[in-house]
Every structure is written in structure tokens, then in C-alpha cells.
Amino acid sequence: MRVDSVYRVTPKLQCADPREIDALARWLAAPLPTGYRAHVTTLGRGTYHGLWMVRMPQDVRAGCADRQAFLREHFDDLWGADPSLPRDEAMSGVSFAHSVDGDEAFYSRSRHRLFVLPRHSDRVHWVPQDVDDPLDWLPRNGRNADEPVDPFRYFDSGQARQTVELFSAVSLEMEAVVRLIGRHVRPAHRLDAPGSTLLFLPAIHGTVQLTQAPGDGRIRIRLAHDTDCAATAAPLLADWTARGFRETWRHPPHAG
């Protein structure tokens, strides 16, 4: 996966200073993980494909002592039964990323490889590739090995973001709401999963996520857009309100 082919939800990025990366490499006293420099200078701080957050150079160093202290206390109980990672090697590992689920991706100075300590498993996962495509850092449970994989990847820096959540008062068809959104802004891509649809909307530098619980026809909407695109997003919000959606949460909140 070429980092420059990753879809960027917003063009507003917070990228790393190359001098900070050089300082990190000197501190690490080992080659940086493959692809790390390209990732933090091209995409920067944010969330990769809704799952992984690659740490910026200053964050790798700042939290290293605390994360290694956690391993000293808990490694034996949580992952010590896995023979693929000796305790001493784990203790010297440096975390370069973490997931929204609490998984941590560490770098082994001795092997020059990344390994993941999963939050919900006692098996260490050695990463098949470094920072080329973090989505491959954990096995995708339940997927057939022969099933084609969607090559689409996205990155969201979360910069200058307004988020609004709404909930419908009545049952609605998911596709009807998708078509309604398309009347206002054209999606560049969509990702579907059981009970949810995520639309990527370049016109507002943001996304709309629709979710519907099993057995409940009502729909929850989570709209995230650039604060500078509020005027473009306003007709969407007005249309949803007119069709019975009520706002349940907003960040940042209305002024006053």
C-alpha cells in the first residue's frame, strides 16, 4: 500500500518535522520501522482506516517509559505464555502505534520488526509488514482467505472537525437515507458492514456514518465535517431535521 494513495478525509494534516524523525532514529539506535517516515511525513497525526494511530516521533519517546513499565508488571500474565516473544525482548520494545481497541504495536530493536500485543488475545502477533498498511497488523477474523479485499484505505487527521449525531424518530430504510444524502453531496466512496454504512464526502471534507441496530428500524447518523464547510453541511442537517431526525450530541457544542 502506497501511503500517497490513501484517501484523506480532510486535507488539513499535522505532519511530522523530518528533524524530529531524525532525532527519534538517533534515540532508537536502530533502523526505524519500514514506512514509518513516509507515514508521519505524508499523513501525520490521526487515525488510519478508523483503527490505528501511528505515534508521532515526540509521542513515541514521551510515553516509552510508562508503556515499558506496564509490560514489566503485566506481560507475564497477559502474553507470557506465547513463546514467540521472550520477556526481555518485550521489555525493550518501543510502541510506535496503538489501536482504538487498545492494541499496541511495538518495535523490536533486536529483530527490527513490529509485533502487536492484542488487547483481547494472549497471542503475540508479529506484523507481516511494517507501516506500509497498518490494517494488516492484526488478523482479520472471520474473513475467508480467498475473499477479495477492498484496497480502499482512508486516513482522518481529525483537524478542525465538527461532529453531530442524530437519531430518527421512526423506522427508515438505510438506502433511502443514503440516496437523500446523495442529493446534497456526492460520496466519493462507501464502506458497508452489517448494520452500518460509512460515506466519504469530499465536499465537506468529512464522513457520514449510518447505523441501524438489529430489529430496530431507526437510524443513527454521525456526521463529521470540516468546520470551514459548515455552510455546505447545513442543508443536510436541515433535511434530516425536517424528516424527523433529532440531534442528540454535538462537538464542539453550540457557542453559548
Tell me: do 127 and 182 sit in the same domain: no
Question: Is residue 154, in this structure, part of any structural domain at all?
Answer: no
CATH classification at residue 217: 3.30.160.110
Spatial distance between the Cα atoms of 234 and 192, rounded to a whole number of angstroms: 25
Question: Is residue 72, in this structure, part of any structural domain at all?
Answer: yes
Spatial distance between the Cα atoms of 102 and 67, rounded to a whole number of angstroms: 12
Tell me: do 72 and 126 sit in the same domain: yes
Tell me: do 90 and 203 sit in the same domain: no
Inter-residue contact 233 to 202 (CB < 8 Å)? no
Q: Where are the alpha helices (DSSP H) in 43-156?
A: 57-62, 64-78, 87-91
Q: Which three cell numbers stand for residue 245?
A: 431526525
Q: What is the domain range of residue 170?
A: 160-251
Tell me: do 33 and 132 sit in the same domain: yes
Return left, alpha or beta for 253; rule: phi > 0 is left, psi -120 to 50 is alpha, else beta: beta
Tell me: do 37 and 69 sit in the same domain: yes
Q: Which of 192, 176, 187 is nearest to 240 (CA)?
A: 176
Look at residue 148 in the predicted model and tell me its pLDDT. 66
Tell me: do 245 and 206 sit in the same domain: yes
Q: Which three cell numbers stand for residue 30?
A: 536502530
Cis peptide before 252 (omega within 30 of 0): yes
Spatial distance between the Cα atoms of 6 and 80, rounded to a whole number of angstroms: 36
Tell me: do 202 and 117 sit in the same domain: no
Question: Which of 102, 137, 172 is where one domain is finished?
Answer: 137
pTM (two decimals):
0.93
pLDDT per residue over 150-171, tens digit each? 889 999 999 999 999 999 999 9
Inter-residue contact 165 to 218 (CB < 8 Å)? no
Question: Is residue 144, in this structure, part of any structural domain at all?
Answer: no
Count of domains in the chain? 2
Question: Which of 137, 170, 194 is where one domain is finished?
Answer: 137
Question: Is residue 152, in this structure, part of any structural domain at all?
Answer: no
Look at residue 26 in the predicted model and tell me its pLDDT. 97
Question: Is residue 80, in this structure, part of any structural domain at all?
Answer: yes
**Chain centroid, CA 34 distance in Å:** 19
Q: Could you tell me what percentage of the chain is helix, strand and coil, using 3-state DSSP and rounding each to the nearest 5?
A: 30, 25, 40
Question: Is residue 145, in this structure, part of any structural domain at all?
Answer: no
Spatial distance between the Cα atoms of 134 and 116, rounded to a whole number of angstroms: 11
Tell me: do 169 and 63 sit in the same domain: no
Look at residue 252 in the predicted model and tell me its pLDDT. 93
Look at residue 141 in the predicted model and tell me its pLDDT. 60
Tell me: do 92 and 198 sit in the same domain: no
Look at residue 256 in the predicted model and tell me its pLDDT. 46
Tell me: do 212 and 243 sit in the same domain: yes
Weakly modelled stretches of the chain, pLDDT under 50: 142-143, 256
In total, the chain counts a number of residues equal to: 256
Question: Is residue 155, in this structure, part of any structural domain at all?
Answer: no
pLDDT per residue over 63-100, tens digit each? 999 999 999 999 999 999 999 999 999 999 999 999 99
Tell me: do 28 and 132 sit in the same domain: yes
Tell me: do 41 and 109 sit in the same domain: yes
